[in-house]
Structure 1
Amino acid sequence: MFEWFVLIVAGFFAGILNAIAGGGSFLTFPALVYAGIPPVSANATSAVAVFPGYLGAAAGFRKEILAFDRKVLRHYLFLSIVGGLVGSLLLLVTSNAVFSSIVPWLLLFATLVFAFGKRCTEWLATAHKPLHQAETPFLLAVSIYGGYFNGGLGIILLAAFITFGMQDLHLMNGLKNGMSLVLSTVSVITFAVAGIVQWPQAVVMMAATTIGGYLGALLAKAMPARLLRLSIVSIGFIMTLIFFVRS
């Protein structure tokens, strides 16, 4: 019963974090591992658990997504599909032992991206020339990462868009959420077909993240963003240390 309580609490607060600033996977994935689910299956189940958040975010930015250049949008979404599928398939062929050794580094990378992503995007906005020629390979690589382990995916995408010369934050957020939804849909379908999703835990956490996401949207304007980001970064480093010790 305590393990189910941990999953519900983790899902609830993950929904709040994702609604306000992102970083929910820092809670859902470790909670599932704590509940005794093997790392690969825990990663797949975590992807399913946070999926409603991507759906809601994309719906909220529907206007911005549809306002984007259709040809470019189709190209980006295609890269999301291909990359998400490749990353998901890579996870399926990764053993639990290998994934356990990789997870601490993935968590560390995601935490660093979350901690310094804003500074990096601000620096890129003022210190670069648009790198249009790098769009396809870079976004494909990011999408593969997202299909394999999506921690910090949104921040990486925003940094990429700024590097490509985009300036409208609303359009970038819309595109980020659209790509994340498509990528996550591919991942969830792949994991479901492969049979590695623990559905009882996933369904419970999906309900918890949905409720948390709704409340998180209400709290978004009331909670100091700096304090929230500090909390997420602290959680990320603590989880990283725990998984380094475990591995």
Structure 2
Amino acid sequence: MLEFIALLLVGVAAGALNAVGGGGTFVALPALVAAGLPAVTANASSTVALLPGALASAWAYRNELVQVGTTSRTALTTTSLVGSALGAGLLLVLPSESFRVAVPWLLAFATVVLAFGRTASRLLSTAIGHPIDLSTRSVLIGQFVLAAYGGYFGGAVGILMLAFWSVGLGLDPAKGNPTRVAQLAAIYATAAALFLVASDVWSYPGPVIAVLIGAIGGGFAGARIARRLPARALRGIVLTTATTMTALYFLRS
């Protein structure tokens, strides 16, 4: 019972983090490993457990979604679904050790981009004489790669999406946060469907259900809190989350 309550609270924290700034996987994954799940199973289980929370957040944000450049939301979501399926399939058939080694460096890159991306984008736009504005094709290619990453690992995919949109399109992270949550839900949906069918997530129902229930409440509450935060505060939370998770992952490595 104590373990169930602890994992329930972990789910609340993970769901709220995903809604506000990203990084829920970095709370849920270590907790599931500590509960006795093998690393790959814990990774798959965290995706399954955090899906309802992401859907709850996406529902709370449903009236605040923005378009990413000139790319339609339908095309962006379809790309997220397909890319996530590829990434989840790779997790099921390939060893994950080499990818885990690369994760801290990917997070570090995303953190640097979030911290300095908007300034760098303005400076580069001034140097070339016009704003950076990725084409629809470039946005979809980048989204496909990020969705594949999200299906394979899941950690900080929302942070990476915000970084990509911020540099490539000049999209403000605070304004893009609702769309990030919606795309995160799409990525989780495809990956979770595959994991439920092809992995051994069902072998550990107790821990998964505990995190899942907590994440629903945390995801909905986190979205409501984020809607009331000033843009500067939300950007600060996103950057703080990215920096903290990057540092923790380097320490773990």
TM-score normalised by length of structure 1: 0.79
One-letter amino acid of the counterpart of residue 24, structure 1: G
- State the distance in 2 between where 1:240 and 1:7 align: 24
1:193 Cα deviation from its structure 2 partner: 1.0
Match of 2:247 in 1: 237
- The unaligned stretches of length 5 or more in structure 1 are none
Match of 2:129 in 1: none
Match of 1:74 in 2: 74
The equivalent position to 1:196 in structure 2, one of 185, 194, 200, is: 200
Q: Secondary structure at the match of 2:23?
A: coil
RMSD over aligned CA atoms reads: 3.3
CA distance 1:32–1:100, shift in 2 (3 Å): farther
1:148 Cα deviation from its structure 2 partner: 0.7
2:149 corresponds to 1:121:
no
Match of 1:43 in 2: 43
Q: How does 1:95-174 map to 2 (within 5 A)?
A: 98-106=95-103, 108-109=104-105, 111-113=107-109, 115-126=111-122, 127-128=124-125, 129-132=132-135, 133-165=137-169, 167=171, 172-174=176-178
One-letter amino acid of the counterpart of residue 237, structure 1: A
One-letter amino acid of the counterpart of residue 148, structure 1: Y
Number of positions where the alignment pairs a residue of Structure 1 with one of Structure 2:
239
Q: Assess if the C-alpha contact under 8 Å between 2:50 and 2:215 holds in 1.
A: yes
CA distance 1:100–1:6, shift in 2 (3 Å): farther
- State the distance in 2 between where 1:74 and 1:11 align: 29
- State the distance in 2 between where 1:158 and 1:231 align: 13
- State the distance in 2 between where 1:8 and 1:53 align: 12
1:24 Cα deviation from its structure 2 partner: 1.3
One-letter amino acid of the counterpart of residue 133, structure 2: P
- State the distance in 1 between where 2:107 and 2:69 align: 32
CA distance 1:206–1:110, shift in 2 (3 Å): farther
- State the distance in 2 between where 1:162 and 1:84 align: 21
Match of 1:31 in 2: 31
Q: Secondary structure at the match of 1:50?
A: helix
1:63 Cα deviation from its structure 2 partner: 2.5
Which segment drifts farther, 208-217 or 63-72?
63-72
Q: Assess if the C-alpha contact under 8 Å between 1:26 and 1:151 holds in 2.
A: yes
Which segment drifts farther, 142-151 or 128-137?
128-137
CA distance 1:232–1:118, shift in 2 (3 Å): closer
One-letter amino acid of the counterpart of residue 134, structure 2: L
Percent identity between the aligned chains? 27
Q: Deviations over 1:50-86 (max 9, x none)?
A: 1123212221232344878997222212211210100
Q: How does 1:204-223 map to 2 (within 5 A)?
A: 204-217=210-223
